Structure 1
Amino acid sequence: MSSQVHLTEVDALNEAVSNEVSENADFLSFELANELYGVDIKDVEEIRVWEKPTPIPRSPSFVLGVINLRGMIVPIIDLRARFSVGECQYLPTTVVIVLRSSGDNDDKMMGLVVDAVSDVVSQGDNVLSPSVGDSLVTPYLQGIVNVGERVMSLLDTDELLNIERILRNPI
């Protein structure tokens, strides 16, 4: 797949996310080591083609570095490394989902490296169930929900973007 084709696909995804935010979609789903995850679509700033970020000295191994996004410095986290799932490979389908969380006095932004974006989905009548078990992912989960024949783990954007938690719990 050429980078031009991939760039066009990412542009189409960004347009779909923008359109869906104004409608009733709930989540952006993505793949991570053959598992399905999702984030609230309202927290998605944009989807970017994978590009190597500028490294940050002495940062945790899952913090790949930072990118400049329209004048804002955005840290880039590899979720595979953060959650210790699968081997970290950067393929043509690899993208960065840039999330924004509006806190008490500030906006936080962070890019999450994922294997591929899957779809924009609605929760519909599916019940959000509590997460099961204990893993490195559990503190970041809102719950799980059925999406077709698969189960999607819904991630909490505020917890994902909690820099204190990241620095306190380096893997």
Structure 2
Amino acid sequence: MTPNSSPLQRALRMAPDRTVAAQARPEQEFFCFRVGELRFGVPSENVLEVLRAGLLTPLPRTPSFILGVTGHRGQVLPVVDLLRFLSKGEARIGPRTRIFVGVSGSYVSGVVADTVLGLRRIPVADILPPPLGGDQAAEHLLGVVQGSGPSDGLNLLNFSKLLQTARQRAVVR
């Protein structure tokens, strides 16, 4: 150390490199939304955009979790009710309902969201494993993030697996 260095220069020399600091606490970005009383997060790379819920055309002989299809940018998108898919209730389509366009590989689908909570960066260390034993929903979770209150928790979805399972269930019929 040079005797003439300022406190700022000494602090900068002692501070960890930014790349080392970023690796020490890696984060993942999730698109967060609410359906019914449940809060979910989907990896942001699986979300293309968010739309207002418009007119849905019901399809005959499809599973109940497929609410219908909607046209978007020249494509016909199946729209999934996540609550029905996970056996947690039923989504209600209203004037404030949104549909986010989710993608995994070549699968593209719309998913109903009551409220969009936005993007959230979550430290990987804060993600707890999904609960063991339990219901069908747990098999589609990457993990959970505890909140400060009982309704503040966040269920992180394995969106690729969810879309693949939804497609398999729809084709089996």
Range of TM-score over shorter length: 0.7 to 0.9
**How many Å separate the matches in 1 of 2:168 and 2:139?**
10
* 1:145 aligned onto 2:127: no
Alpha-carbon shift at residue 87 of structure 1 (Å): 4.1
Give % identity: 28
Instruction: Pick the structure with greater CA Rg.
Output: 2
Letter in 2 for 1:137: A
Shift in Å, 1:91: 2.5
Matches of 1:93 and 1:126 in 2, distance apart? 34
Contact 1:80 1:114 (8 Å CA) reproduced: no
Assess, with a 3 A threshold, how the Cα gap between structure 1 residues 97 and 70 changes in structure 2: closer, same or farther.
Answer: same
The answer (yes or no) to whether the contact 1:43–1:99 under 8 Å persists in 2 is yes
Shift of residue 85, structure 1, vs aligned partner: 2.3
| Structure 2 gaps, min length 5 | 1-26
The CA deviation at 1:68 is 1.9
Amino acid at match of 1:118: L
Query: Deviation at 1:167?
Result: 2.8
The whole-number CA distance in structure 2 between the counterparts of 1:91 and 1:118 is 17
Residue 169 of structure 1 deviates from its aligned partner by 8.1
CA distance in structure 2 between the aligned counterparts of 1:146 and 1:45, rounded to whole angstroms: 26
CA drift at 1:165: 3.4
Aligned-residue Cα RMSD (Å) equals 2.2
Aligned length: 143
Partner letter of residue 55 of structure 2?
K
Distance 1:157 1:99, change over 3 A: same
CA–CA separation in structure 2 for the residues paired with 1:71 and 1:100:
16
1:94 corresponds, among 93, 97, 113, to 97
The yes-or-no answer on 1:34 pairing with 2:33 is: no
CA deviations 1:98-120 (Å, max 9, x no partner) are 10112xxxx11011112111121
Q: Does 1:156 align with 2:158?
A: yes
Gaps of 5+ in 1: 1-23
Q: Distance in 2 between matches of 1:156 and 1:59?
A: 23
Q: What are the equivalent positions in structure 2 for 1:10-159 lying under 5 Å apart?
A: 26-102=29-105, 107-124=106-123, 126-133=125-132, 134-147=134-147, 149=149, 150-159=152-161
Q: CA–CA distance in 2 between the matches of 1:96 and 1:72?
A: 15
